[in-house]
Amino acid sequence: MRIPPIEEAFYVVAKYNIPAIGDELEDADSLRYMYSKLQGTSNRMSETVWKLNPVFKTQLLENLETFKEDCGSFCFEYYDDGPMKSSLSPREASDRLAMFQVRFF
């Protein structure tokens, strides 16, 4: 594993006893451990997402089918009994439009 540049710089500072702020040297020593810990967490989360993917995909496809059916029935009802029906009075057309708007949202 290649040493990150910042860790390399602190290694040189420590090797040649160059004065540095104490906390920074201690933080540099823990960089590799923290990076390794972060990679482990990242790998576990990726694995979890990978395992959940089929469940979510199945649910998405089922919801998409339901949406298509609902959309088709809404459009059919709107064109069949909606506000643009020629036999409606303006008041009745307005009421139906409001009713369909509420259902749409």
10 burial type by CB count under 10 A (0-12 exposed, 13-18 middle, 19+ buried): buried
What is the rounded average pLDDT for all residues in the chain?
Answer: 86
pTM surpassing 0.85? no
pLDDT in tens, 71-101: 999 999 999 888 988 888 999 999 999 999 9
Residue 18 has pLDDT above 80, yes or no: no
Give the residue among 54, 47, 4 at the shortest CA–CA distance from 29: 4
The structure tokens listed for 58 are 């199945």
- Domain boundary assignment for the chain: 5-104
Q: What is the pLDDT of residue 46?
A: 96
The structure tokens listed for 14 are 């420590």
- CB of 31 within 8 A of CB of 4? yes
Q: What is the pLDDT of residue 73?
A: 94
